[in-house]
């Protein structure tokens, strides 16, 4: 099993380091790490250090020996998912599994057909939950670069993001609207890919028109219709495989 990951504000250099606070408590009391076991410290932005536990003290303090420090480059092409706000806790589910799969950025989108709307204090709490979920899922999946969770965007703001992408797609399930298979799309080797995942009620014709004007074509994943909370993960997995990010090579049919 790979070494567990713990988050620090700044990755320390070689030498001794004390991990305390909530992360130290999790390491000692939950993971029950002991002398000689390995762990990883990361800032969630690509920097990380391989460490070995020197000693565990009390319930929330771990002293480690930092063996090596690394800085993982940002992967390319960068994959961003514009995620319509799902109902209930399906938003956190979407963030969790997209993070575990390997998405690089998540943008909450207040689509017109969203049942859930983020307003005022409720919206701030919901956004905080998405960001906390991305952090915890990043740790669980042993990532050293966690996905960024942006502030919620309007349709106009999302369209501006699509206009800047090297490849932009709207996952659209309407059988009456012509769309290509995402598996057949020609993808960039570098740059940015932005996907739009609509709400349970689908992307409205008005929103689709705005996104198409920004350069985003509608695409389908397959013959079945996925939930809004799982479509982003399926699409991300497909793109990670097709762009070579999962294999470390770039396919020749790009």
List, as one string, the DSSP characters of 5-21: EEE-SS---SEEEEE-H
**pLDDT at residue 175, as a whole number:** 58
Confidence check: pLDDT of 217 > 80: yes
> From CA 152, how far away is CA 32, in angstroms rounded?
38
CB distance 91 to 69 below 8 Å: no
Residues 186, 86, 82, 250, CA torsion sign: negative
What mean pLDDT is predicted for residues 92-119?
94
pLDDT tier for residue 248 given thresholds of 50, 70 and 90: low
Structure-block tokens of residue 141: 């999946």
**pLDDT at residue 252, as a whole number:** 46
% of the chain at pLDDT higher than 90: 79
For the domain made up of 5-71, give the CATH fold.
Ribosomal Protein L25; Chain P (2.40.240)
CB distance 147 to 98 below 8 Å: yes
CB distance 161 to 194 below 8 Å: yes
Average pLDDT, the chain: 92
Q: What is the pLDDT of residues 115-163, one digit of tens each?
A: 888 988 989 999 999 999 999 999 999 999 999 999 999 999 999 999 9
CB distance 215 to 252 below 8 Å: no
Half-sphere exposure of 217 (CA within 13 A, CB side): 13
Q: Where are the alpha helices (DSSP H) in 17-62?
A: 21-25
Confidence check: pLDDT of 198 > 50: yes
The reported pTM is: 0.91
Q: Give every strand in the sheet of 61-71, ordered side by side.
A: 5-7, 38-42, 47-57, 61-71, 15-19
CB distance 67 to 17 below 8 Å: no
Q: What values do phi and psi take at 45, rounded to 5?
A: -120, 20
As annotated, the residues of the chain forming the CATH 3.40.1280.10 domain(s) are 78-242
> From CA 184, how far away is CA 164, in angstroms rounded?
22
- Rg from Cα positions in the chain: 20
As annotated, the residues of the chain forming the CATH 2.40.240.20 domain(s) are 5-71
What mean pLDDT is predicted for residues 176-180?
68
Structure-block tokens of residue 21: 């606070």
Q: What is the pLDDT of residues 59-71, one digit of tens each?
A: 999 999 999 999 9
CATH code, residues 78-242: 3.40.1280.10
């Amino acid at each position: 099993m790979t070494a567990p990951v713990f988050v620090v504000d700044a990755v320390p250099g070689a030498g001794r380091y004390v991990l305390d606070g909530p992360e130290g408590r999790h390491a000692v009391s939950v993971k029950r790490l002991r002398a000689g076991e390995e762990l990883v410290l990361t800032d969630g932005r690509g920097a990380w250090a391989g460490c070995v536990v020197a000693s565990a003290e009390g319930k929330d303090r771990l002293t480690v020996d930092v063996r090596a420090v690394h800085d993982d480059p940002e992967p390319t092409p960068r994959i961003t998912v514009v995620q319509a706000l799902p109902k209930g806790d399906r938003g956190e589910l979407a963030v969790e599994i997209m993070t575990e799969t390997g998405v690089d950025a998540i943008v909450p989108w207040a689509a017109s057909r969203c049942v859930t709307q983020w307003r005022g204090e409720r919206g701030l709490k919901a956004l905080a939950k998405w960001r906390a979920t991305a952090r915890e899922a990043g740790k669980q999946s042993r990532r050293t670069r966690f996905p960024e969770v942006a502030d919620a965007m309007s349709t106009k703001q999302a369209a501006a993001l699509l206009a800047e992408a090297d490849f932009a797609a709207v996952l659209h399930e309407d059988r009456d609207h012509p769309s290509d298979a995402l598996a057949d799309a020609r993808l960039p080797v570098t740059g940015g890919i932005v996907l739009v995942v609509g709400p349970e009620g689908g992307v409205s014709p008005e929103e689709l028109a705005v996104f198409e004007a920004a350069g985003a074509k509608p695409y389908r994943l397959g013959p079945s219709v996925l939930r809004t909370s799982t479509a982003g993960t399926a699409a991300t997995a497909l793109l990670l495989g097709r762009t070579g990010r999962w294999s470390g090579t770039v396919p020749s049919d790009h």
